Amino acid sequence: MILTVTLNTALDLTYRVRSLRPHASHRVSEVIERPGGKGVNVARVLAALGHEVTVTGFAGGGTGRAIRDRLADVPRLTDALVPVAGATRRTIAIVDELAGDTTQLNEPGPHIAPTEWGTFLDRYEELLPSASAVALCGSLPPGVPVGAYANLVRSARAHGVFVVLDTSGEPLRRGVAARPGLIKPNADELAELTGSHEPLRATQDARRRGAQAVVASLGAQGLLAVTPEGRWRATPPARIPGNPTGAGDSAVAGLLSGLVEQLPWPDRLSRAVALSAATVRAPAAGEFDPAVYEELRGRVTVTGVVSAA
């Protein structure tokens, strides 16, 4: 079983409009509603790939109930979310069909009381012994300690469970110091962590700060990986137009699935890039276009990286 942790779950709403214009009224052509938050998106992609996955984190209010109702329909996915008094947030993605761009609006999430945080920690410790790997994903809701991910990384390592950390800012900085097995920042998050805007140099620095392996997401340019086994660059065959929301989460799912299947790093990276691109073509985060995925898997270019120069 793969465990994903989403402390700030969300009900994802995707609106499609012909053209997004400031200060104007818009007619929405399509509305899509899905359970979300980064770790939930990762879990849904893993389940679609055929892996048994358990989702934990928090869910509360009407939006929390809506998330749990929809997760109940996902094969191979187990709901272990912890109920809270506050209402789970919503995230809104507005897709501009003419420009091919997406505007994202993210609510902050409910305040988590100390007793609710304690209940989650108990649940997490109960789930770890059955986990083959754990993904710690996304932002922290109000009330959760800023060092939460660092503590969760240490707990997983104490159980011998491989940890993927995908967050940003101070939670990432503290989490890296706890020595997770893998972090998956984007270029901006990596630069904020290390102070360097040169991707390879920044990725190597992130490893020195504690991460055993670093896979940096470079958007349309693919992934850059620095690991104990080597360094690689994985790039898609072409820029894929569509909605990029959740593409990074699908990359995490690809890396995790490759890990538990014991694939070599180049195969993990090609799977992650193909899934990420296939998610751009899907209608909502946490999903991917199977035809695009299968078509791209053999066309991702993975090359070794020699130096930071």
Euclidean distance between CA atoms 247 and 253, whole angstroms: 10
pLDDT at residue 31 in the model: 85
Please report the pLDDT score of residue 84 as a whole number. 97
Q: What is the pLDDT of residue 291?
A: 85
Q: Taking a C-beta distance cutoff of 8 angstroms, is the pair 85, 60 a contact?
A: yes
Quick one: pLDDT at residue 305? 83
155 CB neighbour count, 10 Å cutoff: 17
282 has pLDDT over 90: no
Q: Residue 51 in contact with residue 132, Cβ under 8 Å?
A: no
Task: Express each pLDDT in 114-158 by its tens digit.
Answer: 999 999 999 999 999 999 999 999 999 999 999 999 999 999 999
Q: Quick one: pLDDT band at residue 100, thresholds 50, 70, 90?
A: confident
Rounded Cα distance, 309 and 207, in Å:
18
- Note the pLDDT of residue 307: 59
pLDDT band at 40 (very low <50, low <70, confident <90, very high): very high
Q: How confident is the model at residue 219 (pLDDT cuts 50, 70, 90)?
A: confident
One-letter-per-residue 3-state SS of 240-276: CCCCCCCHHHHHHHHHHHHHHCCCCHHHHHHHHHHHH
pLDDT of 178 higher than 80: yes
Q: What's the mean pLDDT when you consider all of the chain?
A: 92
For 234, the 3-state DSSP assignment is: strand
User: For residue range 192-210, what is the model confidence (pLDDT) as tens digits?
Assistant: 999 998 989 999 999 999 9
Q: Looking up tokens 């214009």, which residue turns up?
A: 21
**Overall average pLDDT of the 107-117 stretch:** 95
Q: Taking 60 as the threshold, does the pLDDT of residue 185 lie above it? A: yes
pLDDT in tens, 239-248: 777 777 788 9
Length of the chain (residues) = 309
d(CA 249, CA 165): 11
Residues with a catalytic annotation lie at: 249
The candidate with the shortest Cα–Cα distance to 275, out of 289, 265, 285, is 289
| Sheet containing strand 89-96, strands side by side | 28-36, 10-17, 89-96, 101-106
What residue has token string 């940890």?
163
Q: Residue 71: its pLDDT value, please?
A: 96
